[in-house]
Amino acid sequence: MKDTQVEKLVIIGSGPAGLTAAIYTARGNLNPLVVAGREAGGQLMLTTDVDDFPGFPEGIGGPELMMRMRQQAERFDTRFVAEDVLSVDFRQKPFTIKTETQEIKADSVIIATGASAMWLGLSSEQRLRGKGVSACAVCDALFFKGKNVIVVGGGDAAMREAQHLSKHCKSVTLVHRRDSLRAQPALQDLVKSKPNVKFIWDSIVEEVLGEEKVTGVKLKNVKTSEMTTLDIEGVFVAIGHKPNTGFLKGQLELDEKGYIIVRDETQTSVQGVFFAGDVADKRYKQAVTAAGMGTKAALDVEEYLENLKG
Ligand SMILES: Cc1cc2nc3c(=O)[nH]c(=O)nc-3n(C[C@H](O)[C@H](O)[C@H](O)COP(=O)(O)OP(=O)(O)OC[C@H]3O[C@@H](n4cnc5c(N)ncnc54)[C@H](O)[C@@H]3O)c2cc1C
C-alpha cells in the first residue's frame, strides 16, 4: 500500500460486528480494509458450540461461523490486515491508524474491537474454559440444564446471569466476595425471589476442580479463611467486561469503564468514526446483536461518505 493512499473505510476488529460491517460496506462498493487484530475472528473463536445464531438449526462451531463470515466478506473483495491497531489520530482528517507495521489513512472508521470478559485469574479456571467455565449464561445455560452451577460476582451482570440460569439449572449459587450486593435493588429482589438461587457471602473461588470438566470449586471465606468444597458442574464468571479501547484514549469520548460513549445510533464523539458491537454494548453482548450493530454502522458510514461527496 502506498503511503499516500487514503482508504474510504477502515474497520478495526474482525468479530461478528466488524465482519458484518465489512460484508455490507463491501457490497456497497466502499472497498473496506479490515484491520483484523491478532485474535482474528474475535470471541467466538473460543467456543465450540453456537446454538443461537439464526440460520444454523443444528448449531455451528464458533470458528466455523467466523470463517464463513470472513469468506462472505472476502467474496465482495474485503481486504484484511492481520495486525492490531496500536494508536489512532482522529484529530485531523483523513484519520490516521497505526498498526504494528503500517500507517493507514482513512476517510471513515468503524471501531468493532469488542470487549473481553474479565476472569478470576486462576490457572484451573483457564484450563476448564469451555469445559464448564463460562462467562455467558445466555450462550451456555442450556448446556447446564438440570445441573448445579455457581455464578461469581455481585453486580447487575451477575444478577442477570443468575436469573437466566435459574430458569434452566437445578440450583444456582451466587458466590460473592462481600456480604452485600452492588446490583440494582430491583435485580437483587428478582434473583432473591427465585427458589433455586442460593447465596454464599464473603467468599472467593480459590480453585476450579475437575480434570476433563468442572466437578466442583474450592471456596475460601475471606473473613474466617475457612475453606469449603462445593460440588457443581458449571462456573459462570460475571465480574465484568473490559472493552478493547486502550488505543483510543484521548481520541474519542469513553466512559469510566472504557466503553465508547454513544452520540447518535452508531456515531462516536468524532464525526466519521463509528462503532459496532460489544465495544459499546454494556448489556446484550451477543454475536447477533454485534452483527446487527455492524449493519447499522455500515449503513451510517455509507450515508456519511455520500454526504461528504456533497
Ligand atoms: C467463550 C464465549 C462463547 C460465546 N458464545 C456465544 C454464543 O453462543 N452466542 C452468542 O450470541 N454470543 C456468544 N458469545 C458472545 C459473542 O462472542 C460476542 O458478543 C461477539 O463476539 C461480539 O462481537 P464483536 O464483533 O463486537 O467483538 P469480538 O468478537 O470480541 O471481536 C473483536 C475483534 O476486535 C479485534 N481487536 C481487538 N483489539 C484490537 C486492536 N487494538 N486492533 C485491531 N483489532 C482489535 C479482535 O482481534 C477481534 O477480532 C460468546 C463469547 C465467548 C467469550
**CB of 247 closer than 6 A to ligand 1?**
yes
Whether residue 129 sits in one domain with residue 68: no
Whether residue 96 sits in one domain with residue 111: yes
Select from 204, 237, 270 the last residue of a domain: 237
**CB of 83 closer than 6 A to ligand 1?**
no
In percent, the amount of the chain with pLDDT more than 70 equals 99
Pull the grid cell for residue 279: 465495544
Whether residue 284 sits in one domain with residue 219: no
H or E element at residue 220: strand 216-221
**CB of 154 closer than 6 A to ligand 1?**
no
pLDDT score at 4: 65
pLDDT exceeds 50 at position 78: yes
Tell me, in angstroms, the distance from the centre of ligand 1 to residue 13's CA: 9
**CB of 114 closer than 6 A to ligand 1?**
yes
pLDDT score at 1: 47
Q: Relative to the CA of 18, which ligand 1 atom is closest?
A: 25
Whether residue 100 sits in one domain with residue 136: no
Domain holding 44, by residue range, is 6-116+241-309
* Per-chain mean pLDDT for the chain: 95
22-40 pLDDT, tens per residue? 999 999 999 999 999 999 9
What lies within 8 Å, CB to CB, of 79 at 6+ separation is 31, 32, 33, 34
150-162 pLDDT, tens per residue? 999 999 989 999 9
CATH number at 278 reads 3.50.50.60
pLDDT (average), residues 175-196: 95
In percent, the amount of the chain with pLDDT more than 90 equals 91
Instruction: With respect to residue 1, please indicate whether it lies within any of the assigned structural domains.
Output: no
Whether residue 232 sits in one domain with residue 123: yes
Q: Pocket of ligand 1, candidates 64, 139, 283, 288: which has the most ligand atoms within 8 Å of its Cβ, to mutate?
A: 139
| Residues tagged active-site | 136, 139-140
pLDDT (average), residues 174-192: 94
For residue 131, CA distances in Å to 59, 140, 178 come to: 18, 11, 27
pLDDT category at 3 given cuts 50, 70, 90 is low
Select from 203, 237, 271 the last residue of a domain: 237
**CB of 89 closer than 6 A to ligand 1?**
no
203-252 pLDDT, tens per residue? 999 999 999 999 999 999 999 999 999 999 999 999 999 999 999 999 99
pLDDT exceeds 90 at position 2: no
Tell me, in angstroms, the distance from the centre of ligand 1 to residue 309's CA: 33
Tell me, in angstroms, the distance from the centre of ligand 1 to residue 119's CA: 15
**CB of 81 closer than 6 A to ligand 1?**
no
Q: Is 296 left (phi over 0), alpha (psi -120 to 50) or beta?
A: alpha
Tell me, in angstroms, the distance from the centre of ligand 1 to residue 16's CA: 7
**CB of 84 closer than 6 A to ligand 1?**
yes
Tell me, in angstroms, the distance from the centre of ligand 1 to residue 179's CA: 33
Whether residue 83 sits in one domain with residue 42: yes
Select from 221, 237, 253 the last residue of a domain: 237
Structurally, how many domains does the chain consist of?
A: 2
pLDDT (average), residues 262-286: 95
Smallest CA-to-CA distance from 138 within 117, 118, 158, 161 is with 161
Q: Relative to the CA of 288, which ligand 1 atom is closest?
A: 11
Q: Answer whether 173's CB lies under 8 Å from 148's CB.
A: yes
**CB of 18 closer than 6 A to ligand 1?**
yes
86-107 pLDDT, tens per residue? 999 999 999 999 999 999 999 9
Tell me, in angstroms, the distance from the centre of ligand 1 to residue 54's CA: 17
